[in-house]
Amino acid sequence: MISEALKRIKPSATILMSQKARELKEKGHEVISLSAGEPDFAPPEHILKAAIEAIKKGANKYTAVDGIVPLKQAILEKFSRDNHIHYDLSEVMVSTGGKQVLYNAFVATLNPEDEVIIPAPYWVSYPQMVNLVGGRSVFINTTAESGFKITPKELEKAITQKTKWLILNSPSNPTGAVYSKEELQAISKVLLKYTHVHIMTDDIYEHIVFDDSPFATIAGIEPSLKDRVLTVNGVSKAYAMTGWRVGYCGGNSELIKAMTKVQSQSTSNVTAVSQYATIAALQGDQEFLIDNVALFRKRRDLVVSMLNNIPGLHCGVPSGAFYIYADCQGVIGKKTPKGSVITSDEDFVMGLLESEAVGLVFGAAFGLSPYFRLSYAESEENLMLACQKIQTFCNSLS
Ligand code: PLP
């Protein structure tokens, strides 16, 4: 019954861990789930108002597959204003989340055995999507010492005749690593040499950066690469609109046309109401982003200091997004009070969920062990409680 293609892929580990936490909650346990990647607050009022207005005005019909023109116009303006990339209407489209943008792009471009270079650790869905459409993931393993970032040399070594895409995700899920403008310029130099390589840059955490160096994206800093770059973004994270399902992208018109064709035979347009709300998100006041970043920074600092006080765990200070990717090498080989040995980051995360009802995601799902990912898009109170519980669990190990 089930296709060979589907048998090749795994379900999303982040969704799986969130589901496990939900099941425990339903059984009456007080669970703190730090496994999902979504802000714990609502979108700003003006976005909600725009959606209600759209409903009242009758936004009930199908729209153009690639998005309504006023939204595409708002996207052009956003790319130009924030990223210095100048697209026209034929070079942007709207999809059901950044997730569908990426999936459309792979379906539209990958032939069997085409290679996609993915820096590891990576967002869980990249290799699974590549696998599903018959492509091949080529990983560049990064380390905490390199700030979880690839170097131009490592990139050059990974490129072959079959390379179709390089994926860049900055700020990164799961590590929070952010590439500086200079680092991207150095990577661009390699990419300029290999004209058959395209770049998918996943900028979904663009607005959540903590350092003074501003966010940079490759088509903005190296305009001569623009036609080979698909710039992916969305409103899920910065605007707290995960459930509204709106992602968008800019790329060359031939690629956008092909991706629109894919979408026309799968989901058609993004929900009309969500499209109107997204116009308000992109064109409205952006000041609240500053407050949100300050809030995330405070939470980041709290969790980093608490985790680094727990014997067996260690983490650096991430520069963006709302995740901490913590090293748990120090607990591997230890025994739980029930007598089972922790042999992997998955054992650690599962043991923690069972003993202390705290949900994290194990590093193996992101391609680098032994680590775990903690999402600090949660209240300070819950973060503090969760860190105390992680400490209790680690102290119970022998
Ligand atoms: N890219 C990255 C790196 C993510 O972390 C996520 C969501 O977790 C997405 C893309 C997709 O987000 P959405 O489909 O909600 O726009």
- CA dist 137 and 129 (Å) reads 10
pLDDT recorded at residue 18? 78
Give the CA radius of gyration of the chain: 21
pLDDT recorded at residue 1? 92
Largest Cα–Cα separation, the chain? 63
What are the tokens at 20? 């496990």
- CA dist 26 and 156 (Å) reads 49
Give percent of the chain above pLDDT 70. 100
The pLDDT tens digits of the residues spanning 109-161 come to 999 999 999 999 999 999 999 999 999 999 999 999 999 999 999 999 999 99
- Matching residue, tokens 């729209």: 63
- Is residue 121 reached through a cis peptide bond, with omega within 30 degrees of 0 on the bond before it? yes
Ligand 1 atom nearest 235 alpha carbon: 16
Question: With bands split at pLDDT 50, 70 and 90, how would you rate the model's confidence at 231?
Answer: very high
Residue nearest to ligand 1 atom 7, measured at CA: 37
How high is the mean pLDDT of the chain?
A: 95
pLDDT at 11 over 80: no
pLDDT at 14 over 90: no
Pocket-testing residue among 96, 123, 128, 239, ligand 1, by greatest number of atoms within 8 A of Cβ: 123
Mean pLDDT computed over 54-83: 97
The residue that leads in pLDDT, 213 or 356, is 356
- CA dist 90 and 225 (Å) reads 18
pLDDT recorded at residue 21? 82
Give the pairing type, strands 163-169 and 198-202. parallel
- Matching residue, tokens 């999902």: 36
Mean pLDDT computed over 194-220: 94
pLDDT at 15 over 80: no
pLDDT at 222 over 90: yes
In angstroms, what is the span from residue 361 Cα to ligand 1's centroid?
16
The residue that leads in pLDDT, 3 or 230, is 230
SS3 label, residue 135: coil
Residue nearest to ligand 1 atom 8, measured at CA: 37
What are the tokens at 308? 């680094």
Helices (H), 214-359: 218-221, 253-264, 272-283, 288-307, 345-356
CA 272 to chain centroid: 24
Q: 371 forms bridges with which residues in the sheet? A: 327
SS3 label, residue 87: coil
Question: With bands split at pLDDT 50, 70 and 90, how would you rate the model's confidence at 332?
Answer: very high
Give the pairing type, strands 32-33 and 358-359. parallel
Residue list, ligand 1 pocket, CB within 6 Å: 37, 97-99, 123, 169, 173, 202, 204, 234, 236, 242, 247
What are the tokens at 235? 């409103």
- CA dist 95 and 247 (Å) reads 5
Mean pLDDT computed over 67-79: 98
Give percent of the chain above pLDDT 90. 89
pLDDT recorded at residue 165? 98
The residue that leads in pLDDT, 225 or 23, is 225
Ligand 1 atom nearest 242 alpha carbon: 15
Mean pLDDT computed over 60-85: 98
Mean pLDDT computed over 65-85: 98
In angstroms, what is the span from residue 25 Cα to ligand 1's centroid?
25
In angstroms, what is the span from residue 35 Cα to ligand 1's centroid?
14
- Matching residue, tokens 């869905």: 125
In angstroms, what is the span from residue 336 Cα to ligand 1's centroid?
34
- The b/e string for 207-229 (b: 16+ C-beta within 10 A; e otherwise) is bbbbeeeebbbbbbbbeebbebb
Residue nearest to ligand 1 atom 5, measured at CA: 173
In angstroms, what is the span from residue 98 Cα to ligand 1's centroid?
5
In order of 9, 26, 29, 300, 329, the CA distances from 225 in angstroms are 32, 50, 52, 34, 40
In angstroms, what is the span from residue 373 Cα to ligand 1's centroid?
15
pLDDT at 337 over 80: yes
In angstroms, what is the span from residue 342 Cα to ligand 1's centroid?
30
- Rounded to a whole number of angstroms, the distance between the first and last alpha carbons of the chain is 46
What are the tokens at 178? 């952010």
In angstroms, what is the span from residue 309 Cα to ligand 1's centroid?
31
User: pTM here?
Assistant: 0.96
- CA dist 99 and 270 (Å) reads 12
Pocket-testing residue among 236, 242, 322, 373, ligand 1, by greatest number of atoms within 8 A of Cβ: 236
